[in-house]
């Protein structure tokens, strides 16, 4: 899915649509990618002369990739973060890097959903986390 196709699932819009493409690889594996251009709003001031993608932005990118796994539930609703657990940052993500996420669901108790994910750059680990979501109707 490209950005326009993702907009049919995700409620996010620019500048908060933070993945360039995503696909469902298997029943329970979603892969999402984002290439850091260097002019993104979240790099301004983080850090002058040495821009690094903030960890919280990497977690949001991972969460948006998770939404591909829940496409039928997310469409027409709002996925809200319930929590982040066991978050670890291994290597910085910088302009020019393409970060690739692999996410899978671990359990669900609607309207709550639980997933795990990891992000890599060039095969090297960048971030990993366990995530939880609540899917709520749009008001």
Question: Is 99 within 8 Å of 86 (Cβ atoms)?
Answer: no
User: How many other CB atoms are found less than 10 A from the CB of residue 73?
Assistant: 17
Active site residues: 46
Query: CA angle, 16 as apex, 131 and 135 as ends, to 5°?
Result: 40
Place of tokens 């790099």: 43
């Amino acid at each position: 899915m490209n950005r326009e196709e993702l907009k049919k699932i995700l409620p996010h819009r620019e500048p908060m649509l933070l993945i360039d493409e995503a696909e469902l690889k298997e029943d329970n594996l979603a892969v999402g990618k984002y290439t850091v251009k260097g002019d993104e709003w979240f790099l301004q001031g983080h850090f002058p002369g040495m821009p690094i993608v903030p960890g919280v932005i990497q977690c949001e990118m991972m969460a948006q990739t998770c939404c591909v796994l829940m496409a039928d539930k997310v469409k027409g609703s709002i996925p809200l973060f319930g929590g982040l657990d066991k978050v670890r940052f291994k290597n910085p993500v910088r302009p020019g890097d393409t970060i690739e996420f692999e996410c899978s669901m671990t359990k669900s108790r609607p309207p709550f959903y639980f997933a795990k994910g990891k992000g890599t750059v060039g095969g090297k680990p960048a971030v990993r986390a366990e995530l939880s979501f609540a899917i709520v109707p749009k008001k």
